[in-house]
Amino acid sequence: MLQIQTIRDNQEDIILALGKRNIDARPLIEKVLQLDENRRAAQTSLDNILAESNKISKEIGVLYKTGKAQEANSLKEQTVKLKEESKQLGNDLNAVEEELQTLLYQLPNAPHTSVKKGSTEDDNEEIFNEGEVPKLVEGALPHWELAKKYDIIDFELGVKIAGAGFPVYKGKGARLQRALIAYFLDKNTEAGYTEIQVPHLVNELSGYGTGQLPDKEGQMYHVTADDLYLIPTAEVPVTNIFRDVIVNESDFPITYTGYTPCFRREAGSYGAHVRGLNRLHQFDKVEIVRVEHPSKSYEALDGMVEHVKNILRELKLPYRILRLCGGDLGFTAALTFDFEVFSTAQDRWLEISSVSNFETYQANRLKLRFKDENGKNQLAHTLNGSSLALPRVLAGILENYQTADGIKIPEVLVPYCGFDIID
């Protein structure tokens, strides 16, 4: 969440920045600042009462030692009143702090200066485009028909077992899935990311720590009996490793990669644009997460973008990069670049990665700090990116690599698959 001190010092700038998200944040910001004034006033009053109480307690001790019991007992009556006042002030302070925290959770991150104002994905800026769109054979099929033709993904069987959005991968389809996961992890570890395996369920604190709660509560699967949430992305458990942690400045950069299944309810998703692998409730994804010094985080973001570029170049898939506008920017992100692969058979772009810098927004929730050169605690910056999300990468491979004889396997994946064609 946004830091209260930052809001106090940069009220108009933050209101202007949040305007890029098409939000009139002024009423909420003003309420936040008023609550903060109330909080500070209550804290000052409480501190004064506690100081007075401590002072009187010392005086009582001196009076008893000098045989002035009557005067000491008289002062004791004052301490009783002060304790009652301090208890009430403490309750008032807790109530104000809770209300303030609730309001701060409602404020999204302030967009980076490079983010343009916009309302929908149609307002996103294409900043890079690479790769040739292949010319497909006559009668080329979308991936859901290819999956059925070659018996590599069974969508109907998934419906039988769990429901729509839970496909069953079979034979070479399952092998290709496994190959992609191994390839992505290898590319990430070669780039210096430490591989990590994390739980696929998280507690409520973890959801709040990275900003999925309360913003995306309706999109998450909630195991109510245990009050746990199935993860929507590995970003949540991996980043929460650093909740309530003070790292050393010398530890930067901290880099992790991990594979997990991801679970998203995606309520209200219907239509041809979500057919097949285009929109799932369960899917596989390999994630990269970084904890950075604030002065290095945007350099790190550029490096993450180049890293994903190199993977797509090796897969030889046509792709483009979009800088998201304010209206399409995620709640917690300051700046996001989306990667999209062109689906030749569907004649449309499919999002396959988001790479984001959250600046101090998540770190403030997580209380993720580092000691600077002066020994003072500062908030770190967090970043994450898909490297990569499998379903639409797989869709892109199936559609763009289809031939009259079958579906060729990208050369870089052949050693992982053990075959070079699906036929």
- Res 79: pLDDT: 80
DSSP track, 218-284: GGS-EETTTTEEE-SSTHHHHHGGGTT-EEEGGGPSEEEEEEEEEE---TT--SGGGTTTTS-SEEE
Residues at the annotated binding site? 233, 264-266, 287, 351-354, 384
- Tokens 């004052």 belong to 78
* 285 three-state secondary structure: strand
Residues at the annotated binding site for L-serine? 233, 264, 287, 384
- Res 21: pLDDT: 97
Q: Which domains does the chain have, with CATH numbers?
A: 4-106 (1.10.287.40), 121-422 (3.30.930.10)
Q: What residues contact 260, with CB distance under 8 A and at least 6 apart? A: 198, 200, 231, 233, 234, 237, 284, 285, 287
CA distance 339 to 126: 10
pTM of this prediction?
Answer: 0.92
CA distance 131 to 129: 7
- Res 273: pLDDT: 64
CA distance 146 to 151: 8
Residues at the annotated binding site for ATP? 264-266, 351-354
- Res 267: pLDDT: 58
Q: Output the CA–CA distances (angstroms, integers) from residue 75 to 65, 81, 83, 87, in the order listed.
A: 14, 10, 13, 19
- Res 59: pLDDT: 81
- Res 114: pLDDT: 97
DSSP track, 264-276: ---TT--SGGGTT
- Res 272: pLDDT: 53
CA distance 312 to 418: 20
- Tokens 């003003």 belong to 30
Please give the single-letter amino acid code of residue 290: R
- Res 62: pLDDT: 79
**pLDDT in tens for each of the 423 residues of the chain?**
899 999 999 999 999 999 999 999 999 999 999 999 999 999 999 999 988 888 888 888 877 778 777 777 778 777 888 888 889 999 999 999 999 999 999 999 999 999 999 999 999 999 999 999 999 888 899 999 999 999 999 999 999 999 999 999 999 999 999 999 999 999 999 999 999 999 999 999 999 999 999 988 889 999 999 999 999 999 999 999 999 999 999 999 999 999 999 999 975 555 556 789 999 999 999 999 999 999 999 999 999 999 999 999 999 999 999 999 999 999 999 999 999 999 988 999 999 999 999 999 999 999 999 999 889 999 999 999 999 999 999 999 999 999 999 999 999 999 999 999 999
- Res 31: pLDDT: 97
